[in-house]
Structure formats: structure tokens, C-alpha cells
């Protein structure tokens, strides 16, 4: 009996985790670069994973917005921990570094952090950064392998669990589009269906638990009569 109750309790917790992931997805359905989150078996203990399918590209016209068309991720790090992101909204910090707006962490270039002088800049589709006619840096893109898992780390960042790959093995290197942002890949209709399924499953398991409680109470009362 106790083992069955443990299994049912775990199933209910998995449904709660699914609902939490769906609620987070819905809340970020308009967040640029956001990747739909999901859980494996409803387990959130190791962190929700990311659905890596590309979202639609939206033209903003701002030089500070970059989108990756195709494969690849922007790269950044903090305190020795590496992260990737598809959120390309950028700004210059007080030091003149190009940073990811949402996290405030520096956007990595092939030669390290990218510093710009005041004024306009241009990024070509290969990630080369120009001020005037001078090339000042090249934005670094990284390529998690097909079997790598992306774990959400907050602020539009993801930790990669697995190896990196050669972009040739992923269909080719991604292209950068300045003046665009990649939008969330959340499908609101799909999330609503997921929410209803998780809620109904939770309710059915809850009824089973309540039924078992009633049987257990009756058995204890019967035993008490002897």
C-alpha cells in the first residue's frame, strides 16, 4: 500500500511540475529568444530543459538587436560557468562592452569580450563587427551537438549538458541578422492543451488517492472492532 501511495504521489508531483513549466512558457510567450521549457517525466529537480526549435524572426530595425538564422547560439560566461543564449537584444555597458540585455553578461567574440567605441556599428551575416570600415571583432557562435540537452538557467541563458559539434554536422553555420530578434517558440494553443491534460491527470490520480484513503480508513475501523 505504501509503495503504491508513493508512486501516486510522485505522479501528482510530476503533473504539478508540468503545469509549472506550462505556466512559465505562457508567461514568456512574447519574450525574444525564449525556448519552450519541458520536463522529462515531470522531473524539475535538475532544471527544466529547452525545446531548441527556432522561433520566428521579427524585424526591429535596431542595430542593437541580433538574431541567429539557423543553428548556433550566442556564448557568454560568468564566474567560470559557460552559458548559451538565442536572445540577441544587446546594449553597451559602462565599460563599452557589448552585453546581453536580459542577463547583463558580455557577449563573447572569437577573441574574447567585444568593446565598441561610441557610434554606429554593423554586423554582417558571419558575425563580423565593423565600426566604419574597420573590423573590430567577430561574434562567437557555439553549436551544441544534436544529443546535447539545454537546461534553463534564467535570464534567457541555458547550460549545455553534452558536447559541442561542428556546424557542418548540424546543417551548416547559423547566419546573423542585424535589426532582427528571434521570438519565443512557444505555441500558446499547444500549451493550453498541455495544461488541460496535466490538470485532468492530476485530478484522476487525486481521486484514486482519496479512494484508497477511504478503503484504508474502513479497514482500520474494521480491525478496531475485533
Q: Are residues 20 and 36 in the same domain?
A: no
pTM: 0.80
Q: Are residues 19 and 79 in the same domain?
A: no
- From residue 41, give the alpha-carbon distance in Å to each of 47, 90, 159: 12, 35, 20
Domain interval for residue 69: 32-185
Estimate to the nearest angstrom the gap between the alpha carbon of 2 and the chain centroid.
Answer: 37
HSE of 105 in the Cβ direction (CA atoms, 13 Å)? Answer: 23
Residue-by-residue pLDDT tens, the chain, 226 positions: 567 767 777 777 787 888 888 988 999 999 999 999 887 765 545 578 889 999 999 999 999 999 999 999 999 999 999 999 999 999 999 999 999 999 999 999 999 999 999 889 999 999 999 999 999 999 999 999 999 999 999 999 999 999 999 999 999 999 999 999 999 999 988 888 888 887 887 777 777 666 666 655 655 556 555 5
Q: Are residues 21 and 43 in the same domain?
A: no
Tally of structural domains, the chain? 2
Q: Are residues 195 and 103 in the same domain?
A: no
Q: Are residues 20 and 54 in the same domain?
A: no
Q: Are residues 108 and 67 in the same domain?
A: yes
Q: Are residues 103 and 137 in the same domain?
A: yes
Question: Residue 163 in contact with residue 96, Cβ under 8 Å?
Answer: no
Q: Are residues 41 and 138 in the same domain?
A: yes
Q: Are residues 173 and 192 in the same domain?
A: no
Amino acid at each position: 500500500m505504501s509503495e503504491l501511495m508513493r508512486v501516486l504521489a510522485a505522479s501528482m508531483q510530476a503533473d504539478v511540475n508540468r503545469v509549472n513549466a506550462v505556466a512559465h512558457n505562457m508567461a514568456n510567450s512574447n519574450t525574444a529568444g525564449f525556448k519552450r521549457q519541458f520536463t522529462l517525466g515531470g522531473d524539475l529537480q535538475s532544471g527544466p530543459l529547452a525545446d531548441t526549435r527556432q522561433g520566428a524572426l521579427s524585424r526591429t530595425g535596431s542595430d542593437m538587436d541580433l538574431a541567429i538564422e539557423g543553428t548556433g547560439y550566442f556564448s557568454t560566461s560568468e564566474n567560470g560557468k559557460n552559458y548559451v543564449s538565442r536572445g540577441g537584444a544587446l546594449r553597451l555597458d559602462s565599460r563599452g562592452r557589448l552585453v546581453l540585455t536580459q542577463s547583463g553578461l558580455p557577449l563573447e567574440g572569437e577573441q574574447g569580450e567585444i568593446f565598441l567605441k561610441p557610434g554606429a556599428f554593423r554586423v554582417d551575416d558571419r558575425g563580423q563587427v565593423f565600426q566604419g570600415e574597420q573590423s573590430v571583432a567577430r561574434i562567437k557562435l557555439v553549436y551544441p551537438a544534436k544529443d546535447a540537452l539545454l537546461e534553463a538557467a534564467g535570464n534567457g541563458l541555458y547550460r549545455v549538458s553534452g558536447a559541442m559539434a561542428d556546424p557542418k554536422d548540424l546543417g551548416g553555420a547559423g547566419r546573423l541578422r542585424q535589426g532582427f530578434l528571434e521570438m519565443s517558440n512557444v505555441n500558446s494553443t499547444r500549451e493550453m492543451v498541455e495544461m488541460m491534460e496535466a490538470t485532468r491527470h492530476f485530478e484522476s490520480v487525486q481521486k484514486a488517492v482519496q479512494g484508497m484513503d477511504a478503503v484504508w480508513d474502513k479497514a482500520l475501523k474494521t480491525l478496531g472492532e475485533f
